[in-house]
Structure formats: structure tokens, C-alpha cells
Structure 1
Amino acid sequence: MRIAFMGTPDFAVPTLDALAAAGHDVAAVYSQPPRPAGRGKALLASPVHKQAKRLGIEVRTPASLRDAETQAAFAALDLDVAVVAAYGLILPAPILEAPRHGCLNVHASILPRWRGAAPVQRAILAGDETTGVTIMEMERGLDTGSTYALRETAIDGKSAGELTEELAAIGAALMAQVLDALPGLTPTPQPDAGVTYAAKIEKSEARLDFTRSAVDVERRIRAFNPMPGAFFEYGGERIKILAASVLPGEGPGPAARGSGPRLSPGNVIDETLTIACGEGAIAPSLVQRAGRGVMTPSELLRGFAIPAGARLG
């Protein structure tokens, strides 16, 4: 099939690779424009942009798809279908209507649950046991199109980074199957029941609130790993927690462990950086100081003292 691929981050790269491996005619790749990055603010091409170049495919990076010239250039590709995976730009009606079989999207949830920008993170935050990938027909609504295929997977304590990588591989394989079956497939309208929206993650959400339960805090740690990184502040420094386990129990602090005085949420319980929460406690296993590499709590504490009883904010 003659295809345009539209994607930007690492999540989209496996789908592009799958299209190329299947022998489809990828006429062009659309990706968001290179952005300033690093201390020197040099322009950095997206992961999809880089991979398309390696594959020898033309890359187009319009800042918008709303102008007539860009839309005419897209229509001139004479496409069977456009495949979209985390592109990041709104597709106006002339773009949606140009390919003969429309625009198909790789969406990282089981629709209609978690329509929107951050389905992986919101599924973890909500404590969902499963998530997955849906291949959907795009229309002007926010992830409201009819669905061609879906596949579930267990969340099972994974971080957002781990889960995104898994879903990217699932989505690539599922999209390849759908394209092999076109145009004989008939999409299924999404049900009206069960709709939820995955709002964009705000950086302010990453500051850990230890008045929440340990279960909730641990979910936030996983949901915000790797970005933006769940953190607390102590001694004028921001410390990220990248992984932690839950110590269950009633009430904050050592009450969860059956000994010692009750401490307030946010207090450090012991010399291993166990932290009291509104209910139970968390035991970090991977942490990171600003500008430093990932380390264990014991490695952190050797160079940055956080004594038992300290209050984290």
C-alpha cells in the first residue's frame, strides 16, 4: 500500500519500522519540526525523523497542517492510507479525507478508556490492571473514531517508560495486521459507556505528596518515570524517586511496621530512606539527584545525608 507515516517520539518508531519491513510504499514521513535541545540549544530532530532518514524516506516537518499549500502537498502523495502514531499535531479535515482509506491511529489504550494525550500515565495513576493498544480510524473528535483492532496487556507494576516501550511493539504488530487486511476490514464504533479522558501531564503533578497513601505515591513514581520524574525536595535539592516498593499498613510511618513513634507523612522513618505516607510507607529503590546518575538510596545517602526523622517536601 502507498502510505504516509506521521509520528514523532520513540513510541512511533517501531510502527514506522514495521511498515518498511512489510514492504509498503512509504511515500513520506511527517514529524514535528526539530526542537532546540541541550545546553547549546542545537536543533534536534525527532526519533521518527532520524529513523526515516536512516531508512531513506523523505521527511516533512511542517509546523502546522492547516495551510492550503501543506494540505495540497499531502493530497498530491496519492495515498491509500496514512498511519499516525503520537504525531502531536491536529489533523484537519482535508488531511483526514485525503487518503483513500483514511487515517489510522495507533493509540496506547483500550478505547474508549483514556482518550487523549497521556493514556499510559493516566492508566497507571488510576491503578488500572490492564491497558493496551487500539488501532482506530481517525475523525475530527478526540480519539472518537471507530476501531479496527485492539490488544490488551497487563500493567503489572511497570513504569510508564517500560509500558510505553511494550505498547509501541504491540502497536506496530497490530497496525501491520490491520494494513494486511485492508480494505476488507469493517471498523466498529466505540461504545458510549466507559469513556475517560487522559489529560496532559503537568510538571506540577510530579512533586510527591506524601499525605497520599503509599499505594498512590508508588503509582505516581511509576507513572512519571522517566518523564517528568516524581520528586521531593530536601536541603535545597530536588531528588527524584524512580522506583519504590510499598510497605502497607494503617496510618503513617512506623505504625506500618509495628514499632516506634508515629511520624507525620513525609518524615523519613529510618536510615534506608523509608518514607512515611498518609497510609503505609514507601521504600525507594532507585533515586537521582539533579545532574547526577541514577543510584540506590544507600549510594545517595553516602554523599547526601537525609537522617531518620527528616521531613521531605
Structure 2
Amino acid sequence: MPLRLIFMGTPDFAVPTLRALAERGHEIVAVYTREAKPAGRGMKLQPTPVEQEARKLGIPVLTPKTLRTPDAAAEFAAFQADAAVVVAYGMILPQAILDAPKFGCFNLHGSLLPRWRGAAPINRAIMAGDAESGVMVMKMDVGLDTGDVAMTARLPITETMTAVDLHDALAPLGAALMADAMAALERGELSFVKQSEDGVTYAAKIDKAEARIDWSKPAAEVLRHIHGLSPFPGAWCELPLDGEPVRIKLLRCEAARGGGEPGALLGDDLTIACGDGALRVLQLQRAGKQPMSAEQFLRGTPVKPPLRMC
């Protein structure tokens, strides 16, 4: 029989999993997500992507500020769920919540655990130059992404991938994996493997202070930094235009030939020297503007040596 599930998630990354579970015929008795926040020019309250999807599916939505009160635990337990599925919910689950469903709580994590436990596994994998990433279904415990792993799907990371590219590839991959895991749980066939204590790394939340580009580093490292932070918060530098420094986010680049003083423009096509090698900018975003291709930018703002990014 289909499972009674509680779904807990917040951003776009979680939406394909919610949709996949509903399509597999499971009874999703409630969706937990974060509160709506003001957004846009009018600062109107904007429901999370998961809440918007849940409303379309006709599923009751809860947005508690905390799960650590007796009332919150009682409300959660009253759903008498077989399992809870958690995808980028953004709130730590206390023991009372973890223990409430019959079979426990299952998290979809965007890394190959135990590598990149924590908040920003997609960004950190790219920034570190990992050859592959993936998704894992894990039975949750009170630790930070330390639970036993049930299923894994892997995906290569290419040099051209940005964080949003990897995000968009992992989201449907994870949705299918979690749907398969819940089907196995329904059949009583879901098994688990303890995580290794070797190779543990932590994916710390991205700090905006680390977003400034250091052109003195090798081109390969600068490329990973730019792609790992694209599109948010966006790796940035300053370009002097009309005597004033203008902040520019670089969103997509490629390796290029050449070399010179770090940050120096090497031609009129936005090729920039690094500490070792060079990069050509393919996509960027000027402060207050929409993202654009390098060609679009250069049509309106031609730049060439001896200008220097800093």
C-alpha cells in the first residue's frame, strides 16, 4: 500500500521530489516548509517554491517557526505518518520529530557523503574541483548529515558546470532516487550502510565575504571559484569605468591562453590574466543589471588593455 508521508522542504531543489512522490501515489498528508518572506519591488509575501507546489497538489501546508516545542511535536505526530521525507528544509529536526514517523525521517542530500556534510555541498564540490557529485538518501539522526545511507546516484562534474547547472542536474536525479527509496521502504526492502568515518568534509554555508575574486590564484582555481558561486551570491570583482570602480559578478568563464599581471585584460574580449594562465569571461552581471553575455556587455561597454580587474 502507498505510504503516508510528511514532506519537508523549501527551495526549488525540493520541488521535483515532492512531485515525484505524489506521482508515485503516496499519500502526502502534510507539507512542512519555511514561512513566506517579502520579495520583489512591492515586498509582498512570497511563498516558498515547495509551498506553491503543495498548494497546486492540494496538500495541507504548515510553516512553523520552530519544531522544538511540545505542541509542534504533538502536531507532527498526529499525522501518524509512515515516514517523513526531508529535502533542503532549512530547519534542524529535534529527536521528537525524528522519532515520530513509523519508519523515521529520510533526507535527500546533494553530495556523496561523508564528503560535504552541511549547508552548501553543491557549491563546495565545484569550488574544490571534485570530479563528481551526486545525491544520497539517508535515514536521519541528530547529527549533521551523519545518518546511515540507503541509496546513491552519482553525476560527473565538468569544467563548464556552474552551481546552478549542478543544482538543476541533481534535483531530478534526487527526485527519482527518493521515489525509488520510498518504493523500497513500502516493500520492506530498503537497506542501509553506515557512513565511513574517513573522508569527512563539511560544506560551510557560503559567506558573501569569500565572493571577491583573487586574480593572483591559478586560472583553474579562479574558474572553480566563479562557477561554484554562480549565480548566488556570485563571485565578483571591480572594473574601473570612467575612473570609477564598478562591481561586476562573473557568472561563467572558460580557460584561455595567455598570461600577465593578475587581473589584467589581455585583449578586447574579456580575457583576464590570473596568477597562472588566463580566463575568458562568457557571462557576467553588472550591479543593478540583468545577467548578460560577454558580447552584450562589450557592445555597450568596450574595454581593453591596460584596464585591470581588481
**2:139 is aligned with what amino acid?**
E
Which of residues 154, 162, 166 in structure 1 aligns to 2:165?
A: 162
Q: Which runs of 5+ in 2 are unaligned?
A: none
1:262-301 equivalences under 5 Å are 263-301=260-298
2:190 match: secondary structure = coil
1:62 paired residue number: 64
Moved runs in structure 1, 4+ residues, more than 3 A?
none
More displaced 10-residue stretch of structure 1: 288-297 or 169-178: 288-297
What secondary structure is seen at the aligned counterpart in 2 of 1:13? helix
On the 8 A contact 2:98/2:140 being kept in 1, the answer is yes
> Which letter does structure 2 place at the counterpart of 1:215?
A
- The one-letter amino acid of 1:58's match is P
Structure 2 match to 1:303:
300
Amino acid at match of 1:229: G
Amino acid of the structure 1 residue aligned with 2:262: P
- State the alpha-carbon separation in 1 of the partners of residues 255 and 93 from structure 2: 42
TM-score by length of 1: 0.93
Whichever residue aligns with residue 281 of structure 1, its letter is A
User: 1:38 Cα shift?
Assistant: 1.9
Deviations 1:80-116 (A, max 9, x none): 0000000000100000000010000000011111100
Q: Which residue of 2 aligns with 1:174?
A: 177
Q: How many residues are matched?
A: 301
User: In structure 2, what is the equivalent of residue 74 of structure 1?
Assistant: 76
Q: Are the equivalent residues in 2 in contact too, given 1:151–1:170 (CA < 8 A)?
A: yes
Work out the CA distance in 2 between the residues paired with 1:8 and 1:69: 22
Query: Among residues 217, 230, 238, which one is paired with 2:235 in the alignment?
Result: 230
- Distance in 2 of aligned mates of 1:297 and 1:78: 54
Per-residue deviation, residues 126-175 of structure 1 (Å, max 9, x unmatched)? 10111100100000000000000001110113111111111111111011
Query: Contact 1:106–1:133 (CA<8 Å) still a contact in 2?
Result: yes
Quote the Cα distance in structure 1 between the aligned partners of 2:284 and 2:232.
14
The alignment yields a C-alpha RMSD, in angstroms, of 1.2
CA distance in 2, matches of 1:268, 1:245: 15
Unaligned 5+ runs, structure 1: 249-253, 257-262
Query: Deviations for 1:228-265, whole angstroms, at most 9, x for unmatched residues?
Result: 111111233211111111125xxxxx4x4xxxxxx320
Q: TM-score, normalised by structure 2?
A: 0.94
* In structure 2, C-alpha distance between the alignment counterparts of 1:42 and 1:296, rounded to whole Å: 31
3-state DSSP class of the match of 2:220?
Answer: helix
CA distance in 1 between counterparts of 2:45 and 2:275 reads 44
For 1:61 and 1:138, the matched residues in 2 are separated by 21
Q: Where do residues 90-109 of structure 1 align in structure 2 (5 Å cutoff)?
A: 90-109=92-111
Q: Provide the rounded CA distance (Å) in 1 between the counterparts of 2:191 and 2:168.
A: 28
